Chain A
């Protein structure tokens, strides 16, 4: 019995023994490789990241548009930020503890804060006085003075601003500390003492100082608060900052940076970083303090600009530290010419200033053979170096939208700049030929009493003005709506149904890049709208109407394009070649020759020449360019559009009464968020939102509001003074003025000015012989 039970005990113990041995076998034999690798990793004592310098952004000629510059920051000790009384006491003790130290600083301290009359006494006595006078409360006063001092140092800031920033900094670390205290079950007394590393470090309170500001701050700080600097409570620390050397004109193109958000941080990387002994700082990963491109080229070329983080690894054993240098970010060369961009920006700014109804506009200049962007202008813009400070006002300007990158982000009805496309498509589809003529009698249905589908020329009194019998070349010259309506009908008839007609037109639009990305690469870019039957069905919720093909053929209706698409469109008109647009010098895109015969291209090019240069052309009076070598060939467009909402009336319930307030906003959800920001307590009380203000402010009185387009290319002239159609045109220009009215009258002159500017001041961009433009001599890959 006893033996029996002992045997059971023995069996249990042997079983335990076997389990232990099996587990050992698993750890030491099966998983040995894994653990041996781990042991190697754990030899790393610490690994410090080495930050790379972000690449520069250069313009076409190598001028620096954006670069990382050394910068300095004034940093305060964490416990000053939290105004910790224990720390004040500690500083007082440290100041008085060392007689030499106190003596060194005594005179300066006393000069600023006299205890008695210091001038008639010896420094020794003063130090003695001071020593008796210094305690925690004295230090507290001194630090309050320091806050004042810092706020006034560069002006423009208040102590409140600084303390708000201090709160932002300390809030994060206070949370870390709370975690730490909880985890280690620290008592309250222990929790009051510094527990995490950050509590013994200085943190930047005024950042982004340049060299002069730094020297200035250093000198004044030394003079007035030298003892705090010597005790390590105030520091001037190194950092770097992104400086934008261009003026406003490139703000949208170059873009800007922002702090990374948790979403940017790869969770795998975060995990690796959390285990310090692994010593892994994955180069691809972002950390919380990094900056990341938010818009423009900064965002588009983030990978290239960013560089790779290096590391400095220190080992536990006697291996020497291993240093992996940071790889500097690569520079990005834009195709934009800064000088041209600046001049065009000025011209556009002047035009907008002259026209009271125009909130903004855009000009795009393309090199036609390579489709490189020479200028990509949006107006108005902002100073990128002031962005953070001015963001609130910039973001709330719902009339001129200075933050919007109009050239690629805003979409507008193309209007008549679409007509050459319609004509090209009709010719190529075999619907018409060079001999085809059609009569314009002012309306599509002259015999019908309804006034729909009118030509753009209004009847003057009883005298009907119309284009008469015209061919396609003349239709472009006179921008005849009726001719194009008729072409729309031909598409419908040849397609066999309304939907097929629209579908066929849309297939032509694709070829010309409407409704698809231009390939410029900017993340802000919108694709425009190509109103295919399926688009109409799914987005607009309607079937194709009989008038759709007619409207689309004159560039009205749902169809929308961005200015850069318009520029590429006119470059296609000029060259017969589709090619994606390049903003960077090393973007090399394949050109595609469109399947349209040369004779058809000639028709629209001659038409566009006549628009500007011949009597009866829509822009002859306003956009004519007199130059012996170059002719401007263009097409105006006055795209009818609806007004913008700029104000909302927000009705809300206040007690029994219903009240309302006017909010500046361009859409209901923005109005709602603005209202909530202004009146947070009334958030739940909103009853209704109604549009209350528009831009332009007046309603359309007989004539419609319209965006003014003008697209043009510069064609070299032959010896006869007429365009040499065999020469390759070099420059395409697209001009858009929002609510500019007649495209010929407002955008036309601006386009002419831009063309003149290029011909006179930047002749290398128009000269067909000059091989300055990269890739000009290569023949399109057909």
Chain B
């Protein structure tokens, strides 16, 4: 029996309500963050419009059904890749229509009324494509067939890296690993891949731009004691701070400015927060520049304090637990992998974003799902949870009519 579209199922409702709460928090933050002559003016309403558009997109996905989408998985993936290639081409060829660099990065395709961010489309396409590929047992158990998914990951990663957008590129790796893990890949294959990744690390480090290194250095420089040793003995820290003492000394005004601002905002919130629209960092955008998207969690923290932060994080936990619940209840391999992928994607984004706000992970351009402003990401996130809900709407017995591509028995003996 298939649930009708309007029956979201219990975990589905939980996910939907949690997501809507997060959206509400986001809109409130954007309204609070806009000052009197602020370029953010109207950002809150705009975001509300995005949310409504995204809801429509979600309904569309529910209507179409994830299995039908699955059949077009590779096509969707190809479209995503194509858009990324276009962006990459824009770097090489000056004056391509619709694509303009913003802050020297090529991330957006500007259409007449709206700009879209192909990397957001790619995220969705990647999860669907990977789930579609991994639903076959034989694709998972042998190493040579794992090269496929690796390629599926690495190609979009490289294209996103070219934008350059290190954060989004690195986002795909954890999702791949979680999905492979859930799909039942052998642990020794993981070990091989991990070893390869470790071997690539030095090359990767060398290729990194100074500002990217600076962001990683920021994880250490935020502590005064470490900063002092860098200033005193720059030669020992040259691998981390090529500029040595001078960059460390100016860290708070330079590379560390955002992190100092975000920690300051969170700390200023205290236990219960300063209140909506209140707080130093909320009111003065100069103190926390990217507070409407990347660092929105900081101003949540300043306005609603520890209590508010834990509330927001609990919403994500609800989505994660409900998502994993859906994955366990579903017997359809594509559906369950899709569910795991969606959960992994949302969870990784959340952890990286919140982590960077708290100074636990390097600063990247990854925003907070459902909360940060942005049309493309909002639509993408709603499409993702719509897929999740859609999976939950398909009961196991419905699948029983079709032959299993991958049965419980196939997992036996592996662990």
Chain B contact surface mostly: helix
A42 contacts B347, CB within 8 Å? no
Contact yes or no, B351 A1, CB < 8 A: no
CB of A654 within 8 A of chain B? no
B182 and A5 form a contact (CB under 8 A): yes
Highest count of chain A CB atoms <10 Å: which of B247, B336, B351, B412: B351
Question: How far, in angstroms, from A28 to B310 measured CA to CA in the complex?
Answer: 11
| Assembly CA distance A620 to B210 (angstroms) | 86
- B301 contacts partner chain A, Cβ-Cβ < 8 Å: yes
Residue B355 CB within 8 A of the other chain: yes
Q: What distance in Å separates the Cβ of B190 from its nearest Cβ neighbour in chain A?
A: 12
Interface contact A2-B182, CB-CB below 8 Å? yes
Residues of A within 8 A of B408 (CB): 1-2
| A275 & B310 in contact (Cβ 8 Å cutoff) | no
Give the chain B neighbours of A317 by CB distance below 8 A: 283-284
In contact, B321 and A10 (Cβ under 8 angstroms):
yes
A182 interface hit (Cβ, 8 Å):
yes
How many angstroms between the C-alpha atoms of A229 and B407 in the bound complex? 87
Q: How far is the CA of A17 from the CA of B412 in the complex (A)?
A: 31
| Interfacial chain A residues near B310, Cβ < 8 Å | 21, 24
Q: Which residues of A contact B317 (CB under 8 A)?
A: 14, 17
Given contacts A9-B178, A13-B320, A39-B281, contact A275 B267 (CB under 8 A): no
Query: A179 at interface (Cβ–Cβ under 8 A)?
Result: yes
At the interface, yes or no: B173 with Cβ under 8 Å from chain A?
Answer: no
Q: Is the CB of A20 within 8 A of B360?
A: yes
Determine whether the beta carbon of B351 is less than 8 Å from that of A35.
no
Cβ B266 vs Cβ A28 within 8 A: yes
Query: Which one of A9, A28, A276 lies within 8 Å of B269 (CB-CB)?
Result: A28
Whether B340 contacts A27 by the Cβ 8 Å rule is no
Interface of A is mostly: helix
Partner of B267 from the list A8, A19, A38, A183 (CB cut-off 8 Å) is A38
Interface status of B79 (Cβ within 8 A of chain A): no
Question: Once the chains bind, are A27 and B243 in contact (CB under 8 Å)?
Answer: no
Any B CB within 8 A of the CB of A36 = yes
Q: Are B271 and A29 in contact (CB under 8 A)?
A: yes
Whether a CB of chain B sits under 8 angstroms from the CB of A598 is no
- Counting CB contacts under 8 A, is A120 at the interface? no
> Which A25-71 residues sit within 8 Å CB-CB of chain B?
25, 27-29, 31-32, 34-36, 38-40, 42-43
Nearest CB of chain A from residue B223's CB, rounded to whole Å: 12
Contact yes or no, A316 B284, CB < 8 A: yes
Distance A32 CA – B281 CA, assembled complex (angstroms): 15
Smallest CB–CB gap between A271 and chain B, Å?
9
Residue of B nearest to A276 (CB): B253
| Contacts A25-B306, A183-B247, A183-B254 given; does A6 touch B340 at CB 8 Å | yes
Residues on the B chain within 8 Å of A6, using CB: 182, 324, 327-328, 340
A10 and B324 in contact, given A20-B313, A24-B309, A179-B246 (Cβ under 8 angstroms): yes
Quick one: given A2-B336, A5-B181, A34-B267, are A274 and B309 in contact (CB under 8 Å)? no
Number of A residues whose C-beta is below 8 Å from B? Answer: 42
Determine the distance from Cα of A614 to Cα of B299 in the docked complex, in whole angstroms.
97
B177: nearest chain-A partner, CB-CB: A9
Residues of B with C-beta under 8 A to A185: 210-211
Q: How many A-B residue pairs have CB under 8 A?
A: 134
Instruction: Indicate whether A3 reaches chain B with its CB closer than 8 angstroms.
Output: yes
Kindly state the separation between the CA atoms of A16 and B284 in the bound complex, as whole angstroms. 31
Check if B412 sits within 8 Å of A19, measured CB to CB.
no
The answer to whether A39 and B354 have CB atoms under 8 Å apart is no
A5 CA to B355 CA, complexed, in Å:
25
Interface residues of A in 375-429 (CB under 8 A from B): none
Q: How far is it, in angstroms, between the C-alpha of A5 and the C-alpha of B243 when the chains are bound?
A: 45
Bound: A538/B65 CA distance, A:
99
Please name the residue on chain A nearest to B354 by beta carbon: A20
* Beta-carbon contact of B415 and A28 below 8 Å: no
Given A21-B313, A32-B270, A9:B306 Cβ within 8 A: no
CB distance from B220 to the nearest CB of A (A): 16
Say yes or no: A35-B321 contact (C-beta < 8 A), given A24-B358, A183-B254.
Answer: no
C-alpha spacing A38/B280, complex, angstroms: 10
Question: Contacts A6-B324, A20-B355 known; A42 to B305 CB distance under 8 Å?
Answer: no
Bound complex: CA A34 to CA B269 (Å): 11
Which partner residue on chain A sits nearest B267 by CB separation? A35
> Does B184 have its Cβ within 8 Å of any Cβ on chain A?
yes
- B286 neighbours in A (Cβ, 8 Å): 316
Indicate which residue in B184, B271, B336, B360 contacts A23 across the interface (CB closer than 8 Å). Answer: B360
Within B287-324, which residues are at the interface with A (CB < 8 Å)? 287, 301, 305-306, 309-310, 313, 316-317, 320-321, 324
Residues of B within 8 A of A778 (CB): none
Closest 8 CB pairs of A and B: A35-B267, A1-B411, A39-B268, A28-B306, A32-B270, A39-B280, A23-B358, A27-B266
Selected A-B contacts with CB under 8 Å, 20 pairs: A2-B408, A9-B340, A9-B344, A17-B317, A19-B360, A20-B360, A24-B266, A27-B266, A27-B267, A28-B301, A29-B306, A31-B267, A32-B268, A32-B269, A36-B267, A38-B268, A43-B284, A274-B249, A316-B283, A316-B284
Instruction: Please give the residue numbers on chain B whose beta carbons come within 8 Å of chain A beta carbons, in ascending order.
Output: 178, 181-182, 184, 210-211, 243, 246-247, 249-250, 252-254, 263-271, 279-281, 283-284, 286-287, 301, 305-306, 309-310, 313, 316-317, 320-321, 324, 327-328, 336, 340, 343-344, 347, 351, 354-355, 358-360, 408, 411-412, 414-415
Residues of A within 8 A of B (CB): 1-6, 8-10, 13-14, 16-17, 19-21, 23-25, 27-29, 31-32, 34-36, 38-40, 42-43, 179, 182-183, 185, 274-277, 316-317
